[in-house]
Structure 1
Amino acid sequence: MKHTINIDKVRDGLWLDSNITYTQVPGWLGNTTRDLKLSVIRHFQTNDDTQYPVIFWFAGGGWMDTDHNVHLPNLVDFARHGYIVVGVEYRDSNKVQFPGQLEDAKAAIRYMRANAKRFQADPNRFVAMGESAGGHMASMLGVTNGLTQFDKGDNLKYSSAVQAAIPFYGVVDPLTAKEGSVSNDFDFVYRNLLGAEPETAPDLDSAANPLTYVNANTVPFLILHGTKDVVVPIKDSERLYEKLVENNVPAELYEINGASHMDVAFMQPEVFKIVLTFLKQYLD
Structure 2
Amino acid sequence: MFRRGRPFYANVSFRYRRRGNLAYMTGRVPSVTPYVKWLLRARPADYALALSVAGTSLPVVGKHLEPLGGMTAMGVWGMRLAPEAISAMTKDLLTPGKGEARRRDRASTQQVSLAALRGVVSAADLDAEWPVAGRTPPIWEALRQRPYLYRRAVHYGDHPAQVLDVWRRKDLPVQPAPVLIFVPGGAWVHGRSMLQGSALMSYLAAQGWVCLAIDYRASPNHRWPRHIIDVKTAIAWARANVDKFGGDRNFVAVAGCSAGGHLAALAGLTPDDPQHASKLPDGADSSVDAVIGVYGRYDWEDRSTRERAQFVEFLERVVVKRRIVRHPEVFRDASPIARVERNAPPFLVIHGSKDSVIPVEQARSFVERMRAVSGSMVGYLELPGAGHGFDLVDGERAGVAAHATSLFLNQVYRTATQIRAKEVI
Q: TM-score range by the shorter chain?
A: 0.7 to 0.9
Match of 2:386 among 244, 259, 264: 259
Instruction: Report what 1:122 is aligned to.
Output: 248
Higher relative contact order (CA 8 A, sep 6+): 2
Question: Displacement of 1:190 after TM fit?
Answer: 5.5
Q: Whole-Å Cα distance in 2 between the matches of residues 95 and 128 of structure 1?
A: 25
Q: Whole-Å Cα distance in 2 between the matches of residues 62 and 88 of structure 1?
A: 16
Q: Is the 8 A contact 1:56 1:126 kept in 2?
A: yes
Answering whether residue 387 of structure 2 is matched by residue 269 of structure 1, we say no
Q: Whole-Å Cα distance in 2 between the matches of residues 46 and 165 of structure 1?
A: 24
Task: Please identify which structure carries the higher strand content.
Answer: 1
Q: Whole-Å Cα distance in 2 between the matches of residues 185 and 154 of structure 1?
A: 29
Match of 1:278 among 405, 408, 419: 408
Superposed CA offset, 1:56-105 (max 9, x none)? 11111101113223225422111001211111111112132222111100
Q: Whole-Å Cα distance in 1 between the matches of residues 266 and 227 of structure 2?
A: 10
Q: Quick one: structure 1 residues 180 and 228, their matched pair in 2 at CA, closer, same or farther if it must change by over 3 Å?
A: farther
Question: Displacement of 1:262 after TM fit?
Answer: 0.8
In the alignment, structure 1 segments of 5+ residues that lack a partner are 1-12, 26-33
| Alignment of structure 1 residues 53-72 onto 2, 5 Å | 53-71=178-196
Match of 2:275 among 149, 153, 156: 149
Question: Displacement of 1:184 after TM fit?
Answer: 5.3
Q: TM-score, normalised by structure 1?
A: 0.83
Q: Whole-Å Cα distance in 2 between the matches of residues 178 and 128 of structure 1?
A: 30
Of the structure 1 ranges 124-133 and 267-276, higher mean CA displacement relative to structure 2 is found in 267-276
Letter in 1 for 2:188: W
Question: Displacement of 1:160 after TM fit?
Answer: 0.9
Letter in 2 for 1:164: A
Q: What's the secondary structure of 2:296's corresponding residue?
A: coil
Instruction: Report what 1:21 is aligned to.
Output: 155
| Alignment of structure 1 residues 169-188 onto 2, 5 Å | 169-176=295-302, 179=305, 181=307, 188=314
Number of aligned pairs?
263
Q: Whole-Å Cα distance in 1 between the matches of residues 309 and 394 of structure 2?
A: 21
In the alignment, structure 2 segments of 5+ residues that lack a partner are 1-146, 415-425
Q: What's the secondary structure of 2:301's corresponding residue?
A: helix
Q: Whole-Å Cα distance in 2 between the matches of residues 69 and 275 of structure 1?
A: 21
Q: Is the 8 A contact 1:17 1:40 kept in 2?
A: yes
Question: Displacement of 1:137 after TM fit?
Answer: 0.6
Q: Whole-Å Cα distance in 1 between the matches of residues 320 and 214 of structure 2?
A: 21
Instruction: Report what 2:176 is aligned to.
Output: 51
Superposed CA offset, 1:130-184 (max 9, x none)? 1110000110011012224313556533311100111101011123379463895
Letter in 1 for 2:372: E
Superposed CA offset, 1:1-31 (max 9, x none)? xxxxxxxxxxxx8452101111124xxxxxx
Q: Quick one: structure 1 residues 137 and 104, their matched pair in 2 at CA, closer, same or farther if it must change by over 3 Å?
A: same
Q: Is the 8 A contact 2:219 2:318 kept in 1?
A: yes
Letter in 1 for 2:388: H
Answering whether residue 347 of structure 2 is matched by residue 249 of structure 1, we say no
Deviant stretches of 4+, over 6 Å: none
Q: Whole-Å Cα distance in 2 between the matches of residues 100 and 183 of structure 1?
A: 23
Q: Is the 8 A contact 1:176 1:236 kept in 2?
A: no
Sequence identity, in percent?
25
Q: Quick one: structure 1 residues 191 and 235, their matched pair in 2 at CA, closer, same or farther if it must change by over 3 Å?
A: farther
Q: What's the secondary structure of 2:267's corresponding residue?
A: helix
Q: TM-score, normalised by structure 2?
A: 0.57
Task: Please identify which structure carries the higher helix content.
Answer: 2
Q: Quick one: structure 1 residues 217 and 154, their matched pair in 2 at CA, closer, same or farther if it must change by over 3 Å?
A: closer
Q: Quick one: structure 1 residues 151 and 273, their matched pair in 2 at CA, closer, same or farther if it must change by over 3 Å?
A: same
